[in-house]
Structure 1
Amino acid sequence: MSRALITGGVGFLGSHLCDRLIEEGHEVVCLDNLSTGRIDNVAHLGGHDAFRFIKQDVTEYLYIDGPLDYVLHFASPASPVDYQRLPIQTLKVGSLGTHKALGLAKAKGARFLLASTSEVYGDPLIHPQREEYWGNVNPIGPRGMYDEAKRFAEAMTMAYHRYHGLDTRIARIFNTYGPRMRPNDGRVVSNFINQALRDEPLTVYGDGLQTRSFCYVSDLVEGLYRLLMSDEVNPVNVGNPNEFTVIELAHMVLKSIGGQSAGSTALTTGIEICPLPLDDPRVRQPDIGLARAKLGWEPKVQIAEGLVLTIEYFRKQLEGSS
């Protein structure tokens, strides 16, 4: 049985990766300081012979007993609410945390996978975004702590690959949604769904014509697993190329929730327009040609299906908290 460490393993994506690796027959060590992740996300794995949880900050001295075959570095605040609330911690986990995780992978002879982000492209000047694009990032803006932390993490990962010969992978993850997102994490899908379920106005920033591309979590995890098991060293975009505007997404959510409401054909919920935050990207769409060619991967879950599954998750969460 091979053994994997997942930093940030109780987070939205990390917890789904714990499930996937265990399903594939791997033993998983899940490390998280619980600053943004929820232990409930891995509660179902408690007592599993192939699962171990360690509460620790990855920026501190990192020691894992026994062998490791894989190190997956997913520790980081990943939503605007979190990384703007924790700016120094975000920079530290992208720099010191990445250094610690890479050092552990080197010591164990493990393959290393970095969870990078589409935010390395900033507010892009090319569209869709291809891996060879270097980005348009404001390093001192309100999103700089996250963008630059991930760009630094990519640079350090490639330095370890080139200088130490470490076997590395880099996933540039685009917008992802699905069960286990936090209702108040500031991400557009979770915001819209929870506002609509509470019959509150959906908050749309700017004119709502900025575009996004949303990948359902099961599709994304499939892409990440294929990348981990591939021989592709260069960064790979992992996301859904189906692009639409934020205002279109708001109407999709309202329609989906209205259609699920017993005895109701429409909600009273409307849309509230707010000022566009500084440096908010106007477009975001992955070119996944490399993922198709190298991983044989592309998303399968359509947005309408994914929204229904995510809405059901949040509905149960709301009912459980009431």
Structure 2
Amino acid sequence: MTKSVVITGATGYLGFKFLEKILEVKSSICVVKRETSDILKISSLCKNIKFYNTDEVSLDKMFKENDVDMIIHFATLYGRKNESIFQIKEANLDFPLLLLKYGIEHNVKYFINTGTSLPYLTNQYSLFKNQFSECLQFFSSKIITLNILLEHFYGPDDDDSKFISSMIYRMKNNMLDIELTEGTQLRDFIFIDDVISAYLCLINNINKFSGFNILPLGSGEVFTIRRIVETIKDVSGSNSNLLFGKIPMRENELLCSDADISKFQSLGWNPKFSLSEGLKLTIESYKK
């Protein structure tokens, strides 16, 4: 059988963008999805993609029917829409652990995981994401694991629940007053095209890895939230009033998040889009 790549989260923003690119070089793709997921958009990319549901029976069938050599895990649940702690745990720990179990049983060689740069106890999402990272490390003698600590990413057509997309939506619609924290938090935001090129760089250099690998991924630059929001306002030409300091910071707020991208750079990868370039492209694509 032709070697297959398994992709989770392909109906989400990051997963779909990646799928578009990998189909240019890889033909045997298995997509793991929820039973209720809309796959019309994915099916229009390629008629040869095989779809399997997230339940245990379907996953077992997938590994028996395909010679899988790599699992690329994007699926996640942030908990931004009032999901329960059990739903967040299932999406970020239980499901990928089941995927890891079958990967090991069927001698899959590589597991590329989309982790998080957030510390363990920041929120429920980061709690379970980091727990799964520890599971990857525990089983890394049986499967080569690459754990990507992904910083905040953004781009055209992203979910409006995310910070940058939400700010663009409000400012493009000239919301009168936008209440914010002081905005002193430092963040590393990376444009979607740079994220995808980093994943492809890893795959092209996959034979250089063994055991358990931690790979921080961001732009390599940090800016205050205040500067980012002010840049969005300038680029979008918004009339909104930015009310910094009107709301308190969240409990366990991370004051500085930045990625040491030297491991990616050693593979020949560097981000191509500056913050201003990425924001400009994202804002220009916005439709009210």
Q: Considering the TM-score relative to the shorter chain, is it more than 0.5?
A: yes
Give the aligned partner of residue 275 of structure 2. 303
> How far 1:30 moved relative to its partner?
1.9
Do 1:173 and 1:239's aligned partners in 2 also have CA atoms closer than 8 Å?
Answer: yes
For 1:115-163, what per-residue CA distance to the aligned partner results, in whole angstroms no more than 9, with x for missing partners? 10101xx2xxxxxxxxxxxxxx43xxxx43111211111111122212x
CA distance in 2 between partners of 1:219 and 1:274 (Å): 32
Do 2:20 and 2:45's aligned partners in 1 also have CA atoms closer than 8 Å?
Answer: no
Q: Does 2:222 align with 1:243? A: yes
Partner SS for 2:263: helix
Give the aligned partner of residue 125 of structure 1. none
Do 1:10 and 1:32's aligned partners in 2 also have CA atoms closer than 8 Å?
Answer: yes
Partner SS for 1:282: coil
Partner SS for 1:81: coil
Give the aligned partner of residue 150 of structure 2. 173
Deviating more after overlay: 106-115 vs 198-207: 198-207
Give the aligned partner of residue 102 of structure 1. 100
Where do residues 270-281 of structure 1 align in structure 2 (5 Å cutoff)? 270-272=241-243, 273-281=246-254
Aligned AA (2:222): E
> How far 1:224 moved relative to its partner?
1.6
CA distance in 1 between partners of 2:177 and 2:148 (Å): 31
Give the aligned partner of residue 75 of structure 1. 75
Do 2:93 and 2:128's aligned partners in 1 also have CA atoms closer than 8 Å?
Answer: yes
Question: Which of 161, 165, 169 is 1:190 aligned to?
Answer: 165
Give the aligned partner of residue 268 of structure 1. 239
Task: Give the strand-richer structure, 1 or 2.
Answer: 2
Q: TM-score, normalised by structure 2?
A: 0.87
Give the aligned partner of residue 115 of structure 2. 116
| Distance verdict in 2 for CA 1:59–1:252, change over 3 Å | farther
CA distance in 2 between partners of 1:157 and 1:28 (Å): 23
Gaps of 5+ in 2: none
Do 1:13 and 1:217's aligned partners in 2 also have CA atoms closer than 8 Å?
Answer: yes
Do 1:174 and 1:215's aligned partners in 2 also have CA atoms closer than 8 Å?
Answer: yes
Give the superposed CA RMSD: 2.4
CA distance in 1 between partners of 2:221 and 2:197 (Å): 17
Partner SS for 1:307: helix
| Distance verdict in 2 for CA 1:204–1:60, change over 3 Å | farther
Do 1:224 and 1:238's aligned partners in 2 also have CA atoms closer than 8 Å?
Answer: no
Partner SS for 1:85: coil
For 1:243-292, what per-residue CA distance to the aligned partner results, in whole angstroms no more than 9, with x for missing partners? 1111111111111111xxxxxxxx32111332211112111111112221
For 1:91-136, what per-residue CA distance to the aligned partner results, in whole angstroms no more than 9, with x for missing partners? 12222112111122223332211110101xx2xxxxxxxxxxxxxx
> How far 1:310 moved relative to its partner?
1.4
| Distance verdict in 2 for CA 1:160–1:58, change over 3 Å | farther
Where do residues 29-108 of structure 1 align in structure 2 (5 Å cutoff)? 29-33=30-34, 39=38, 43=41, 45-46=43-44, 48-54=46-52, 56-57=53-54, 62-63=59-60, 64=62, 65-78=65-78, 81-82=80-81, 85-108=83-106
Percent pairwise identity: 19
The count of corresponding residues between Structure 1 and Structure 2 is 277
> How far 1:32 moved relative to its partner?
2.3
For 1:5-32, what per-residue CA distance to the aligned partner results, in whole angstroms no more than 9, with x for missing partners? 1111111111111112101223222222
Question: Which of 234, 256, 261 is 1:283 aligned to?
Answer: 256
Q: TM-score, normalised by structure 1?
A: 0.78
CA distance in 1 between partners of 2:133 and 2:51 (Å): 26
